[in-house]
Amino acid sequence: MKNIKDYQHKKILVLGLAKSGVSAASLLHKLGAFVTVNDKEPLEKNPEAQGLLQEGIKVICGSHPIELIDEGFELIVKNPGIPYSNPLVCRALERGIPVITEVELAYKISEAEIVAITGTNGKTTTTTLIYEILNADENKAPLIAGNIGTVASEVAQKAKENNQMVVELSSFQLMGIKEFRPHIAIITNIYEAHLDYHGTKEEYAKAKANITKNQTKHDYLIVNDDQSELMDLVSFSQARIIPFSTTRYIKEGCSLHNGEIVFLGETVIQQSEIVLPGSHNLENILSAVAAAKLMGASNEAIRKVLTTFKGVKHRTQFVMEIEGRKFYNDSKATNILAARSALNAFHQPVILLAGGLDRGNSFDELVPYLKNVKALITFGQTAGKIEEAGHAAGIESIIRVDNVEKAVPVAYQLSSPGDVILLSPACASWDQYKSFEIRGDIFIDAVHKLV
């Protein structure tokens, strides 16, 4: 880690804890900053805050008092989940106090080259693929971080010059960058999402495009050429654009051509050798191959991974087969597009488990993709809206339950041998579960209880 002096003796507020806030507060404390942590959870119920208190860090818990901003902070490091409409954040911006997220800290201290991945869908699969390919190459030493699980500023503290940091980033995180500059950036795709946070698709897309705002001609931006609006969005980028496409051959990019994955004119692997299912995953594979090749990975390492990699947990993950019924956990389908992709991957009858946080959208666009769904089990805030889509699709068997755990045995009772029982919620989990991972694990546990 670079022992930078940028934050030494500066008065800094870390707003909101969770994993990113704890890491940011501890790191800034090590770097000599005068840190104050503010979290809405009361101290007696806040083990993270208690731990920071023991480190000698000032902690204020229980609310976000607006008067905190009068204490002369020079910088705020905000938890990505706290919206910019938060009164304390608004007041800080009015006063010209910079507001960043912890990924900015990670960039400032990292000795490793960074490849950063964002997009509406496919981020986790792409990030994991790149990491696995680099890990399979004996000349590489990758580290994985960011929105995928391990906090970037924590991983960056361990990163050396011989490492490669592969970082998954959300739009929330990218709104809070100032100097962050990945050597390789990827935007997998852009669709309407997180409107409850960003307000409009345009603002959401602009946040995603921040991934390339500080790149120079010495950097690379890998981007989905099949989305013309995305190509227009990043036209300002100073990086070398590496387009990828599943629909046409691009000699100066990465594409599918005559049944082969081709990068800059070189055949890397036959499509028939790839075991990861689903047409949507082809985008992820193309962008991962492009990044791995730009980082010097061998074709042998790429083939080793793509001929064995079957997907990541919670993303169309095969759980088990019981009496001819196959169970799939797609809890990471936190929006309609992701659920559509999962439904498209199956041709047999499907029992669909769906529902979750209500972000104000309808589910009309899901209707055409419900043609193979023989029964629909709903739960959560959006249960009623998803049921409306089910009725519009002509699904006769629609049942509402309290939660995912109760949905599994009901789905099994409605199923027959040869059916797929699919958890693909099309919604975020936060109305009932702290994360999509917890929701997916509960589904897996419930499936195992059927045996």
Average pLDDT along the chain, 451 residues, taken 10 residues at a time: 95 94 96 96 94 95 94 95 92 96 96 96 93 96 88 96 96 94 97 78 93 98 96 97 97 96 97 85 96 97 94 85 95 92 91 96 95 97 98 97 98 97 97 95 97 89
- How many Cα atoms within 13 Å fall on the side-chain side of residue 121? 25
**What pLDDT score was predicted for residue 2?**
94
**What pLDDT score was predicted for residue 11?**
98
Positive or negative: CA dihedral 43, 49, 50, 53: negative
Positive or negative: CA dihedral 299, 301, 303, 305: negative
**What pLDDT score was predicted for residue 278?**
73
User: What whole-number distance in Å separates Cα of residue 439 and Cα of residue 426?
Assistant: 13
Residue 59 DSSP code:
E
**What pLDDT score was predicted for residue 196?**
75
**What pLDDT score was predicted for residue 35?**
97
**What pLDDT score was predicted for residue 192?**
76
Can you give the pTM of this predicted structure?
Answer: 0.80
Q: CA angle, 200 as apex, 244 and 236 as ends, to 5°?
A: 45
**What pLDDT score was predicted for residue 313?**
80
Cβ-contact 98, 171 below 8 angstroms: no
- The whole-chain average pLDDT of the chain stands at 94
**What pLDDT score was predicted for residue 316?**
85
User: What whole-number distance in Å separates Cα of residue 415 and Cα of residue 428?
Assistant: 26
User: What whole-number distance in Å separates Cα of residue 140 and Cα of residue 419?
Assistant: 42
**What pLDDT score was predicted for residue 335?**
92
The full DSSP string for 24-45 is HHHHHHHTT-EEEEEESS-GGG
Query: Residue 422's beta-bridge partner residues?
Result: 328, 352
Positive or negative: CA dihedral 87, 89, 93, 97: positive
Strands in 220-224's sheet, in edge-to-edge order, are 142-146, 164-168, 113-118, 184-187, 220-224, 240-245, 254-257, 260-263, 266-270
**What pLDDT score was predicted for residue 71?**
95
**What pLDDT score was predicted for residue 314?**
86
Nearest to residue 11, comparing CAs of 26, 30, 29, 33? Answer: 33
**What pLDDT score was predicted for residue 163?**
97
Token pair of 116 as six digits = 């950063």
Helices (H), 76-174: 87-94, 102-109, 123-136, 152-156, 171-174
User: What whole-number distance in Å separates Cα of residue 220 and Cα of residue 182?
Assistant: 8
Nearest to residue 432, comparing CAs of 394, 391, 409, 401? Answer: 401
Instruction: Write the single-letter amino acid at 441.
Output: D
**What pLDDT score was predicted for residue 30?**
96
**What pLDDT score was predicted for residue 195?**
72
**What pLDDT score was predicted for residue 388?**
97
Rounded to a whole number, what is the largest CA-CA distance in the chain?
66
Token pair of 217 as six digits = 């001609």
User: What whole-number distance in Å separates Cα of residue 323 and Cα of residue 319?
Assistant: 13
Q: How many CB atoms lie within 10 A of CB 242?
A: 24
